Homo-oligomer: A and B are copies of this chain.
Amino acid sequence: MADDDAQVPDRMGDPAHWATGRLLSTAARLVEHAWDAHLATWGLNHASFAVLWMVERGPLPQRSLATSASVQDQTMSRIVERLQRLGYVERARGTDDRRQVLVSITAEGRRVRGLAQDERLAEGLVTDAVPDPAALRRDLLALVRQLSPRRGGPA
């Protein structure tokens, strides 16, 4: 068996032969990795940076953060816990609905968020490598819209 291929045949060593889903996952992971390397300077990563971005305009319920980010509540809970440990956000019980946990950014969190922000780097990671960034955005957006669990969709 395997009489005409090297140890790692082109068929699998070359991404050109991968299924599109695998291509998508790998590309995402590579971009994430590069972006995380930048954010690590302030103890942040792609997930926690996105949270800081969301709460910058004002306190939000943790559940809202999870929904917007398309992750489970449990996942968001740990991300916020870590941000709190770093001193970048605070958590307080909601006043009108005391079930909620309101997440608000601290002064230090706002400062760090501003420092970490680097549109040029972030977008450049993708746009510098891709022939048609606008088309890519359009396709990714279509994917996210299509696959996001729509609450109250076609009953």
Q: Once the chains bind, are A23 and B123 in contact (CB under 8 Å)? A: no
What residues of chain B lie closer than 8 Å to A25, measured between beta carbons? 28, 31-32, 46
Chain B CB within 8 A of A54 CB? yes
Q: Once the chains bind, are A30 and B129 in contact (CB under 8 Å)? A: no
**How many of these chains are in the complex?**
2
A interface residues, tally (CB under 8 Å): 68
CA distance A34 to B50 in the complex (A): 23
Q: Once the chains bind, are B21 and A147 in contact (CB under 8 Å)? A: no
Q: List residues of A whose CB falls within 8 A of some B CB.
A: 1-2, 5, 7-9, 11-13, 15-16, 19-35, 46, 50, 53-54, 57-61, 64, 67-70, 119, 122-123, 125-133, 135-148
